[in-house]
Structure 1
């Protein structure tokens, strides 16, 4: 009797064979690039039609206001409503808002209030879409591929940050309406990509008995009761405060070194290039180091790099030091994001995500304000030393945190 044996090989899941992820990610590459393009052109447009930096500041404030006022309620609504519809509606509304700019320009009807409304609408749509996309990601890719998916999203954002500003400047030089028209088209492209995502983007919902306020605060309560997520959010908020302040410090240091506007742009290009390289390497690096090593180690490396900025005013060296810091950011984000997506229950995903973003991003205006006062009071070198002290305290807090020291491995199951 002959016994026949058949060897069955199981194909490992691959992000690049995941049709739904590729449809979503591909559309967002175009949309994110478009957003970076119009973000660069918007202050240029305001200054071109008014010559007023204060008007440019008002428009910028209108665009960032949703990050503070919309994130918490958006998280609750993302958990209540259909995530696919939220994402599609966000893309369409943002696209229509951006399309109104070239129409108003061609009609000679463009006003600062309109640009403020457009900026606010775009920021609000960004908040809703980002939370819905983050909450839907675990439904699109298996758990084992979440770090890789987050790394690709990091690369998408970092790449757009590198290419978008010069593209926005180029298009604006060719025609004031072009960057906004291009962004409107990019939103339409992303909406079409969403139509090819076939999977259900959320679990079945139970009938809700709580008020909107109770549901909104449920995300904050869950976050605060989770030691690891709470520690990670506080560490991210502290580092965001430092690096938001650092952006202005770099400009002042570069000017002290006699840098022109072009050289300053090159400095930030090097800075952004470091972030892009880090995003491309984040997927492989997170497999080589434990989450505990990443969380603690990245903060200590940042604390070691920051004081180097006080030793030079050469814009290229400043860009290299900043780029080295930016290289580590995506790795940190991948580890934090993977924990968040794997530990938070699906029905709370939007609310916990919105609570985390509010805490992490809510410090950004404080960083800018603090940088201005510190630069005026103690100068750039003194400001760097103070920021280094904050970063040292953050690294020390990460090191002694029981939640961080006992952080579990990242999930590797299906």
Structure 2
């Protein structure tokens, strides 16, 4: 691989790392700020909805633009605008001008920009992996491991900053990280390879979007994965935005323990993610997928619902992390290997949009479940749905042959 290829790969992965760290940090700091200042789980869920609703919509619509103008420009622009919008929250709070109704449009702007920016960064991965002549599972495994590392650092940093200074001021760090992501892509990512489907060069935006939708509609494995992840993301959003913070408040553990649990979960996922990057391409996908979700999915809800001691809860989250590390490399490889390169942006954003469709409603769902049934029943119900949803796609007899299809080739010319 040439030095230019290395610069592009390192730059994009580094940009992903800092942007994901900032996103994970704000995912704790912002809900905790709203919960502690308003005392309302419903308003906390509304803020999450205000950010994630535009995020999903922007993901859905940005694919043709990413394919047309290239992922670097979209990534840089999204990071810069996100930086400014996030920075406005602590600034307005400091001068006592931040109302709940002003906070909502600010986080909506962040959602509109983060969706295309996050999608654009992911589009870099297949070409860089192919240039390195390694299995696609290894490339997606490395990217997933970096995301896990960010998920470890972000919550831990958030817990410390929120506990010491309060939620709004943790967002200053988020803004800095978004800005750093833009700089990294500007310096290194502009040389990353980008393929444009010349047969669609003169097609309209709507035609290119329809082409992506048609491809996803015809691929039943991608449809199945997107639908499954849509449900799990909905439940994860309810857990992260409302259920976990309310548990931390009601149990007296506080925000630092949220960071501890998420750090343990992500840290153990990093270890298994590194193993997945090395050996996942040699393993049968369907059994590994099932084992990963059985260990890393629904068990997260149980110790919180049952009031387990903190030591037991930490142990359960460690085991969950070890299970989840193998999931994303497999799912990511499946997505990229089944899609033509000139359609990466469109199909990837559509899959992510479907997968994230429930995320805006996660906070609302968590708040309503707690208000209606209480915390423990809400946790148990979410865990049960999680278990059923993650096992169905791999257990249906009609889908078994789809899981067995693999692209074992990685060659391709080194990219200058």
Measured against aligned partners, the alpha-carbon deviations of 1:270-304 in whole angstroms (never above 9, x if no partner) come to 33333333333321341341223323443455689
Provide the alpha-carbon RMSD of the alignment.
3.8
1:97, distance to aligned residue in structure 2 (A): 2.1
CA 218–330 in structure 1, closer or farther in 2 if over 3 Å, else same: farther
Q: Which moved more, 1:271-280 or 1:218-227?
A: 271-280
Report the counterpart of residue 408 of structure 2 in structure 1.
411
Instruction: Identify unmatched segments of 5+ residues in structure 2.
Output: 412-416
Partner SS, residue 194 of structure 2: coil
2:71 matched to which residue of 1? Answer: 83
Of 377-386 and 143-152, deviating more is 377-386
CA contact (8 A) 2:45 2:364 kept: no
Distance in 1 between residues matched to 2:124 and 2:8, nearest whole Å: 11
Alpha-carbon shift at residue 326 of structure 1 (Å): 3.5
Q: Which moved more, 1:384-393 or 1:66-75?
A: 384-393
Tell me the secondary structure at the aligned position of residue 30 of structure 1.
Answer: helix
Structure 2 counterparts to residues 179-218 of structure 1, below 5 A: 179-194=170-185, 195-197=187-189, 198-203=191-196, 205-208=198-201, 210-218=203-211
Q: Does the 8 A contact of 2:71 with 2:120 survive in 1?
A: yes
1:291 aligned residue: 285
Report which stretch shifted further, 67-76 or 278-287.
278-287
Q: 1:391 aligns to what? A: 387
Q: Structure 1 CA distance, aligned partners of 2:149 and 2:338?
A: 28
Cα deviation for residue 22 of structure 1 reads 0.8
1:32 has 2:20 as partner: yes
Matched, 1:152 2:142: yes
Count of residues in Structure 1 that have an aligned counterpart in Structure 2: 401
Distance (whole Å) between structure 2 residues aligned to residue 254 and residue 179 of structure 1: 18
The within-5 A match list for 1:19-168 is 19-46=7-34, 55-105=43-93, 108-142=96-130, 144-168=134-158
8 Å CA contact 1:91–1:125 kept in 2: the answer is yes
Distance, in Å, in 2 between the alignment partners of 1:65 and 1:304 is: 25
- Of the structure 1 ranges 282-291 and 347-356, higher mean CA displacement relative to structure 2 is found in 282-291
Contact 1:159 1:276 in 2 (8 A): yes
User: Residues of 2 paired with 1:373 and 1:57: CA distance?
Assistant: 9
1:369 to partner: Cα distance: 5.4
Unaligned runs of 5+ in 1: 1-12
Deviates more, 1:106-115 or 1:141-150: 106-115
- Tell me the equivalent position of 1:348: 343
- For the structure 1 residues 299 and 167, does the alpha-carbon distance in structure 2 shift closer, same or farther, using more than 3 Å as the test? closer
> 1:94: Cα distance to partner?
1.5
Q: What's the CA shift string for 1:190-224, capped at 9, x where partnerless?
A: 22211223233333544555543443233222112
Which deviates more from structure 2 when the two are superposed, residues 283-292 or residues 338-347?
Answer: 283-292
Higher RCO (Cα < 8 Å, 6 or more apart): 2
- Given candidates 268, 272, 288, the residue that maps to 2:266 is 272
Compare CA radii of gyration and give the structure with the larger one. Answer: 1
SS of structure 2 residue aligned to 1:18: helix
Q: Which residue of 2 aligns with 1:361?
A: 356
Query: Do the aligned partners of 1:79 and 1:349 also contact (CA within 8 Å) in 2?
Result: yes
Report whether the alignment pairs 1:316 with 2:304: no
- Match for residue 215 of structure 2 among 218, 222, 226: 222
Are 1:14 and 1:145, in contact at CA under 8 Å, matched by a contact in 2?
no
Where 1:128 maps in the other structure, the secondary structure is helix
Moved more, 368-377 or 85-94: 368-377
Structure 2 CA distance, aligned partners of 1:320 and 1:15?
Answer: 43
CA distance in structure 2 between the partners assigned to 1:34 and 1:341 by the alignment: 26
